[in-house]
Amino acid sequence: MIIRLSDMSPLPLREQIVRQVRGSILSGELQEQAQLPSIRALAKEQRVGVVTVQRAFEDLEREGMIFARQGKGYFVAPMTEAARKTEARDLASRMLQQPVREAMAMGLESSEIQDLVRELLASKERKHR
């Protein structure tokens, strides 16, 4: 699992960790029962405070993404492929609500927003080829 934190991001370090670990789980990169790095090891590797990583892991545990085993560390919680897809879709929907509202407030029609999304996706697909 590769985590890339940025001081330039508008997101706090804790949220960056949560989003990246969650993304790795929902994408299937991290399989169920996979052990996460220890809190101390991840904090040292990323040059962040232990409390930052601990709170990020606690957030993920509250979401049901990971679970702790006493004395063993944190592990990816069991989740079916269908549940991962549903969770990813729900999360993406929540994340897109604000930008869509803002685009509509700027006077864009639904069809124009849909065209923009299609263009962005096509651009991403071209870059991945």
Owner of token pair 């996460």: 36
pLDDT value at 124 more than 90: no
In total, the chain counts a number of residues equal to 129
33 touches 78 (CB < 8 A): yes
DSSP assigned state of 11: S
Tens digits of residue pLDDT in 58-79: 999 999 999 999 999 999 999 9
Predicted local confidence at residue 31, as pLDDT? 94
pLDDT value at 2 more than 90: no
Residues ≥6 apart with Cβ < 8 Å to 58: none
Tens digits of residue pLDDT in 32-57: 999 999 999 999 999 999 999 999 99
pLDDT value at 30 more than 90: yes
